[in-house]
């Protein structure tokens, strides 16, 4: 069998939540575009209806190229998982079930050419990938700056003199990561990593075990995070890391056979946007995993009303979409709610965010600073005002500040802390919407992002190189 005749078969194992599933499916679609056969192993039951719907649309769009396999996870007693967050509980349940994955992968009818796994499962995957006869990769869904921090985190822990790492001792006011010009402030470190707990220990362990894989894929590109990509690949951050592939920006999946009923609220959202002036609408969304605090909702509404722009506001009052939500009017009151409706549109359903960002009427994006949202905004040339709510979102927001494609009011703190008043929110939105130099920089980065994702761009070069390497492995195994 010649290398050109070999059929490349790639297995993907995503984690819970739309923030992980969405980029995984976009990555899978990218490899399908270049002729690969794909198997998606989906932990079941999924946590949200949005995840189930997305998987269904994806598989029905590629019926001849994609095989879906359900990975039935083992329920655990929530009290043993040390978390009340439904998404982190799902991560933990999947990690504890991973010993069941080997028989699934070994029973596939077509030999695997490569496996791509979510970072959250790095350590429990090590004994599994050691037995695989194909290369294995980690897909790190955030960006290169965050990966630099995570990779260096195990070094910080190892350098502590205590038997158990104590973040209060090994993290000072700032963390200077080798190879990065701008240090990471202590205030940007995800709060769970600042205390000795199971999540902190998991990240230390997973960080250390990144070296056991053949490569790390990230949804980023040179023009956005060139310094961090170079530092990672030249061994400046930590020695021994496998190659880090900036395989982004990942474009949205174009689903087939999706009728208007399945599109939910998107049809009337787009119709409303069609009626708005170009660049006049502020889009507000804090991601699929974050519920907006009741204490903050009123001031956010006041800020949107006062900013003077029409707005499209995606509101989440509960984290998991299988639960019944109370109405926004119950929180705001009828008088304030009527003012909201005069100026904008409120949505509680899951929306196609990239489709919204790509509409000409959208001129700015108020976001939690999740990496997927940042990449989508960059691809569509929309300025971003980030308001980190937790996790790695402050480090992502640092990328916004460093690259010049958005605004990050650092004094706002975490979204779970002090209430930011409506007047301040209004002023910052006006700053984002009226900053011409910001818009120029965003358009420059949009062009760079699309060049990276287009034919002949860095994304295509990397994908083709990986596929060729996998084909050579297949040929060698058949020799």
Catalytic residue annotation? 20, 118
Q: CA-CA distance, 311 to 307, in Å (whole number)?
A: 10
Instruction: Enter the tokens of residue 477.
Output: 């195994």
Handedness of CA 463, 469, 471, 477 (dihedral sign): negative
Cis (ω within 30 of 0) for the bond into 249? Answer: yes
CA dist., res. 426 & res. 405, Å (int): 19
Other CB atoms within 10 Å distance of the CB of residue 323:
11
Tracing tokens 């695997």 back to the chain, one arrives at 112
Give the torsion through C-alpha atoms of 295, 301, 306, 308, to 10 deg. 150
Residues in CB range of 426: below 8 A, 6 or more apart: 302, 303, 304, 306, 307, 308
| Letter string b/e over residues 416-449, b meaning 16 or more CB atoms within 10 A of that residue's CB | eeeebebeebbebbbbbbebeebbebbeebbebb
Cβ atoms within 10 A of the Cβ of 305, count?
A: 18
Say if residues 362 and 382 touch (Cβ distance below 8 Å).
yes
Helix (H, G, I), strand (E, B) or coil at 52: helix
Token pair of 450 as six digits: 């699309």
Three-class SS of residue 286? coil
Distance, in Å, from the CA atom of 251 to the CA atom of 22, rounded to the nearest integer, reads 10
**Is the Cβ–Cβ distance between 278 and 360 less than 8 Å?**
yes
Helix, strand or coil for residue 284?
A: strand
**CA separation for the pair 242, 218 (Å, rounded):** 13
Instruction: List phi, psi (to 5°) of 451.
Output: -65, -40
Torsion sign across C-alpha atoms 174, 372, 329, 342: positive
Using left for φ > 0, alpha for ψ between -120 and 50, and beta otherwise, residue 84 falls in alpha
Helix extents (H) in 173-293: 198-209, 222-233, 266-274
């Amino acid at each position: 069998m010649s290398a050109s005749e070999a059929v490349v078969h790639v297995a993907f194992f995503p984690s819970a939540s739309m923030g992980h599933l969405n980029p995984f499916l976009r990555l899978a679609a990218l490899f399908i575009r270049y002729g690969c056969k794909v198997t998606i192993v989906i932990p079941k039951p999924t946590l949200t209806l949005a995840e189930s719907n997305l998987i269904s649309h994806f598989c029905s769009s590629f019926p001849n190229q994609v095989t879906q396999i359900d990975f039935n996870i083992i329920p655990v007693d929530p009290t043993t998982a040390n978390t009340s967050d439904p998404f982190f509980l799902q991560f933990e349940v999947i990690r504890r079930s991973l010993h069941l994955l080997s028989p699934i992968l070994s029973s596939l009818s077509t030999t695997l050419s490569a496996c791509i796994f979510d970072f959250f499962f790095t350590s429990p995957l090590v004994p599994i990938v050691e037995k695989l006869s194909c290369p294995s990769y980690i897909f790190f869904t955030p960006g290169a700056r965050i990966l630099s921090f995570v990779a260096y985190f195990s070094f910080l822990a190892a350098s502590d003199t205590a038997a158990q790492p104590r973040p209060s001792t090994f993290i000072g006011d700032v963390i200077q990561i080798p190879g990065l010009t701008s240090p990471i402030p202590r205030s940007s470190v995800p709060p769970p990593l600042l205390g000795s707990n199971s999540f902190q220990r998991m990240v230390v362990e997973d960080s250390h075990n990144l070296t056991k894989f053949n490569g790390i894929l990230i949804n980023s590109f040179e023009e956005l995070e060139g310094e961090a990509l170079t530092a990672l690949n030249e061994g400046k951050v930590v020695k021994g890391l496998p190659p880090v592939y900036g395989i982004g920006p990942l474009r949205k999946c174009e689903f087939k056979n999706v009728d208007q009923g399945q599109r939910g609220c998107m049809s009337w959202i787009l119709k409303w946007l069609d009626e708005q002036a170009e660049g006049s609408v502020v889009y507000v969304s804090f991601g699929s995993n974050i519920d907006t605090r009741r204490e903050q909702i009123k001031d956010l509404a006041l800020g949107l009303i006062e900013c003077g722009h029409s707005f499209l506001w995606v509101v989440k009052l509960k984290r998991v979409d299988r639960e019944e939500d109370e109405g926004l009017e119950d929180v705001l009151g009828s008088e304030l709610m009527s003012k909201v409706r005069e100026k904008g549109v409120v949505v509680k359903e899951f929306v196609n965010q990239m489709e919204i960002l790509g509409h000409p009427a959208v001129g700015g994006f108020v976001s939690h600073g999740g990496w997927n949202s940042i990449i989508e905004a960059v691809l569509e040339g929309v300025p971003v005002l980030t308001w980190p709510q937790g996790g790695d979102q402050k480090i992502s927001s640092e990328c916004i500040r460093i690259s010049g494609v958005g605004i990050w009011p650092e004094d706002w703190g975490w979204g779970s802390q002090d209430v930011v008043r409506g007047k301040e929110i209004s002023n910052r939105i006006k700053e984002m919407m009226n900053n011409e130099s910001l818009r120029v920089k965003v358009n420059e980065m949009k062009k760079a992002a699309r060049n990276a994702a287009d034919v002949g761009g860095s994304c295509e070069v990397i994908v083709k190189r990986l596929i060729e390497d996998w084909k050579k492995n297949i040929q060698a195994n058949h020799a």
